[in-house]
Amino acid sequence: DHVVVTLDGPAGVGKSTMAKGLSEALGIPYLDTGAMFRGVAWRLGRNAWEWDADRLARALEEIRFDLHGSGADSGLSLNGEPLGAEIRTEEVGMWASHVAKLPVIRDFLKAAQRAVGERSSLVAEGRDMGSVVFPNALMKFFLDADPEERARRRYEQLRAMGREADLEALTKSIRARDEQDRNRAVAPLRAASDAVVVDTTRLSEEVVAATLLETVRQ
């Protein structure tokens, strides 16, 4: 059977970096489910969260995800097109958070995520991987950190990519997304009861990575 390790937590906590590292160490692909929500939001466009159910359902029928590669080279494509930098803006993040409130979108992506998990072992990264999508995962982690620290990390990350960044705006956006992700009716952001919770606020990337790997290998 395939092995699934889940990694959940709020925006900007470092899930992607950790999922990449863990999948590399375990030699299995990682699935960035935030990228799936971002991809759907980006594909549907602004205000899609206000469409009626029929229109949404029809649009979702036209969307297919594929996962290829392994470890740090895992890649997700939407209808055959690799998802790239276009979905990585805070704006598309906010759109994603809006569409993520809709049961029709969550059900569609839950099915897509489980289908990927049936084909391959995975490190699955997101908000509800341990709590909803993969309740029987072998190992579940929930990463957390103070919002100011998460905004600071996002800021450094954007700067390192040579992008413009505004720390105050990032802090605001991260708080707004937290609020929305934690308070939605369907699959609100919270740790699964059997998840190992790691507060990373005062931990370096190296220490968090080593902690996760040690815990998985025990």
Question: Which residues bind to ligand C5P, rule: CB under 6 A?
Answer: 11, 33-34, 37-38, 93, 96-97, 100, 126-129, 177, 181
Query: What one-letter code names the amino acid at 185?
Result: A
Q: Of 27 and 141, which has the nearer Cβ to ligand C5P?
A: 141
Cβ atoms 69, 63 nearer than 8 A: no
| Euclidean distance between CA atoms 210 and 213, whole angstroms | 5
CB of 96 to ligand C5P, least distance (A): 4
CB of 11 to ligand C5P, least distance (A): 5
| Euclidean distance between CA atoms 201 and 153, whole angstroms | 10
Q: Of 37 and 209, which has the nearer Cβ to ligand C5P?
A: 37
CB of 155 to ligand C5P, least distance (A): 15
Pairing verdict, β 30-32 and 122-126: parallel
Q: Of 27 and 161, which has the nearer Cβ to ligand C5P?
A: 161
Neighbouring C-beta atoms of residue 52, cutoff 10 Å: 7
CB of 206 to ligand C5P, least distance (A): 22
Q: What is each CA distance from 19 to 24, 114, 124, 171, in whole angstroms?
A: 8, 17, 7, 23
Q: Of 111 and 218, which has the nearer Cβ to ligand C5P?
A: 111
Q: Of 124 and 214, which has the nearer Cβ to ligand C5P?
A: 124
CB of 77 to ligand C5P, least distance (A): 16
Cβ atoms 24, 158 nearer than 8 A: no
| Euclidean distance between CA atoms 97 and 181, whole angstroms | 7
